[in-house]
């Protein structure tokens, strides 16, 4: 059945850009499937910036404007503009509210939640999360080499944002020129990304959605005795995990002692599951040791799955908003042995590249991990 879910999302619906009608169709599909299983379903909407790249186009352009203002001889205004741009850039990459996003257009996205009661007395909750939207297809994601270029340039750009206000104030032409070049390259990189088409997203993340729907069907027939299960499908992951953040805001008081498992990209060719020890954009966001220990025990019991720990750098999953809110969470994402995710944010992320064996290995690992969490 999982293959039919992937086909429905990646082929019948197709590319599911954040905040688009196709993303909303995917959410409606998930809600209908949950209702078919007899689960209590809740749907909610939220407004979001529907681009991962527009915030950085805006702040980089603002920083370049600050250089132009400095060249016109208005030093203090240039310093203030550069400081505003740099602050906004750091807020964005730290998953904190960025006031400059008020200048950007918003779109309506949403989340879908299915609740499955415990078989007997409820003592805890486990939440499974998968995002339904798919990313654009920038040049920077084509291969490990282009990804390395992205990581270098994005790191250099953050250093440029940090140093530019001081350089403008001190009047240092060399540092100002170097920062301006880096920020101009950042504008070009993010503009190319923003203009690229959306991927069909068969692996990222129709596969994760299929996994969560598959497990919802499994547990609807075999409820856990003392564990209530939530199956969450969120929008706008690809533009800053805004769906997961909206989910946390809406359900924070109801989550109680819940543990969260995020499933993403779990059917790439020649891959096996990785449970993330941390996710790092600018600062590392770490998974709780309790969950890592349970994941390690599960991997040890199921060596055939190839599951092992992985520290993700330069990218995030929906786990980040949960972890920042202090909610225990772990992400499971499939990688090749060289660490790469095949067809990542690419037009080649099609149903023809789905690896059934990889999906089944990850299903065994996730199912065993959930059962261990519920003990």
Q: How many angstroms separate the CA atoms of 225 and 164, rounded? A: 58
pLDDT of the residue at 89: 97
Q: How far is CA 315 from the centre of its chain?
A: 8
Peptide bond into 205 cis (omega under 30): yes
The pLDDT assigned to 120 comes to 84
pLDDT given at position 117: 95
Q: Is 124 helix (H, G, I), strand (E, B) or coil?
A: strand
Spatial CA neighbour of 164 closest among 81, 71, 55: 81
Task: Say how far apart CA 289 and CA 267 lie, in whole Å.
Answer: 26
Omega before 104 cis (within 30°)?
no
Two tokens, residue 236: 């706008």
pLDDT of residue 375: 87
Report the C-alpha gap between 134 and 153 in whole angstroms: 24
List Cα–Cα distances, 241 to 49, 92, 188, 244, 277, in angstroms: 11, 11, 24, 5, 18
How many C-beta neighbours within 10 Å does residue 121 have? 7
- 270: tokens are 């020649």
Q: Which stretches of the chain drop beneath a pLDDT of 70?
A: none
Q: Which two tokens stand for residue 22?
A: 């196709």
Q: Where are the domains of the chain?
A: 2-50+107-137+198-373, 54-103+142-195
Q: Would you state the structure tokens that stand for residue 347, as one six-digit string?
A: 């037009």
Q: What is the pLDDT of residues 205-261, one digit of tens each?
A: 999 999 999 999 999 999 999 999 999 999 999 999 999 999 999 999 999 989 999
- 2-50+107-137+198-373: CATH topology: Aminopeptidase (3.40.630)
Helix-, strand-, coil-residue percentages of the chain, each rounded to 5:
55, 20, 30
Instruction: State CA 52 to chain mean position distance.
Output: 11
Model pLDDT, residue 286 = 97
């Amino acid at each position: 059945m999982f293959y039919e879910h992937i086909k429905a999302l990646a082929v019948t619906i197709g590319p599911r850009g954040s905040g688009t009608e196709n993303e909303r169709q995917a959410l409606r599909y998930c809600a209908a499937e949950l209702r078919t299983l007899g689960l209590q379903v809740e749907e909610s909407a939220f407004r979001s910036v529907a681009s991962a790249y527009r915030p950085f186009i805006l702040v980089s352009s603002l920083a370049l404007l600050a250089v132009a203002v400095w060249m016109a001889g208005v030093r203090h205004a240039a310093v203030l503009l550069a400081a505003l741009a740099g602050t906004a850039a750091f807020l964005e990459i730290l998953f904190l509210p960025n006031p400059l996003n008020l200048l950007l257009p918003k779109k309506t996205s949403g989340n879908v939640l299915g609740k499955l009661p415990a078989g007997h007395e409820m003592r805890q909750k486990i939440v499974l999360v998968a995002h339904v939207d798919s990313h654009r297809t920038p040049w920077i994601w084509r291969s490990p080499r282009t990804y390395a270029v992205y990581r270098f340039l994005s790191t250099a750009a953050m250093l440029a944002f940090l140093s530019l206000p001081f350089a403008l104030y001190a009047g240092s032409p060399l540092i100002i020129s170097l920062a301006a070049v880096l920020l101009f390259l950042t504008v070009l990189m993010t503009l190319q990304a923003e203009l690229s088409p959306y991927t069909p997203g068969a692996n990222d993340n129709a596969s994760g959605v299929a996994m969560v729907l598959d497990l919802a069907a499994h547990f609807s027939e075999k409820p856990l005795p003392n564990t209530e299960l939530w199956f969450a499908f969120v929008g706008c992951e690809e533009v800053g995990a805004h769906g997961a953040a909206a989910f946390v805001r809406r359900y924070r008081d109801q989550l109680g002692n819940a543990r969260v498992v995020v499933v993403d990209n779990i059917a790439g060719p020649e891959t096996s599951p990785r449970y993330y020890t941390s996710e790092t954009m600018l600062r590392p966001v770490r998974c709780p040791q309790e969950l890592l220990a349970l994941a390690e025990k599960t991997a040890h019991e199921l060596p055939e799955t190839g599951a092992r720990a992985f520290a993700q750098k330069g990218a995030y999953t929906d786990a980040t908003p949960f972890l920042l809110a202090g909610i225990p969470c772990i992400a499971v994402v499939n990688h090749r042995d060289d660490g790469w995710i095949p067809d990542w944010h690419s037009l080649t992320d099609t149903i023809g590249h789905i690896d059934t064996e990889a999906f089944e290995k990850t299903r065994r690992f996730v199912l065993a991990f959930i059962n261990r969490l519920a003990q």
